[in-house]
Amino acid sequence: MATNNVAEYTAAIEGFTGAKELGATDVLLRSDSHLLIEQLSGRFKVKNPTLQRLHTDVRRLAAAFRRVGYEHVPRELNREADRLANVGVDEWLAGEGAGWEPPDPPPRLWDGPGSDGE
């Protein structure tokens, strides 16, 4: 199962990909993940190998835009977005996602030094 940090990075990747498809030139990534925002802004180091790889992917996607901003939204101010995300997941699981099971084993996100494959 993916960690919350992996999920946040994955959401950023999907967001930048969608913004590019829509032809955006300026992007503001808003997240309640303080770690994500600080790492993408360059104020925090990325130490985890999996997050390093995802961080590189996000930064590569971000480089395609004229202007990119990062904004932390405190969790207490993000309750409505969390509620809507949960509604969406619940609706998907009740419909086309019914019976979904995570892959076994889960897909590997990191194949670098120190991983199980080395």
Supply angle C-alpha 22, 84, 65, rounded to 5.
Answer: 25
Q: Which two tokens stand for residue 102?
A: 């995570």
Would you say the C-alpha torsion 19, 30, 6, 83 has a positive or negative sign? negative
Q: Which two tokens stand for residue 36?
A: 């994500």
Residue 9: pLDDT band with limits 50, 70, 90 = very high
Reported as a single tens digit per residue, the pLDDT across 42-65 is 999 999 999 999 999 999 999 999
pLDDT of residue 117: 39
Could you give the CA distance from residue 82 to residue 45 in angstroms, rounded to a whole number? Answer: 27
pLDDT at 84 > cutoff 50: yes
Q: In order of start, what are the domains of the chain with their CATH numbers? A: 4-94 (3.30.420.10)
The residues, any chain, with a CB within 8 Å of residue 2's CB and separated by 6 or more, are 10, 106, 109
Q: What is the pTM of this model?
A: 0.72
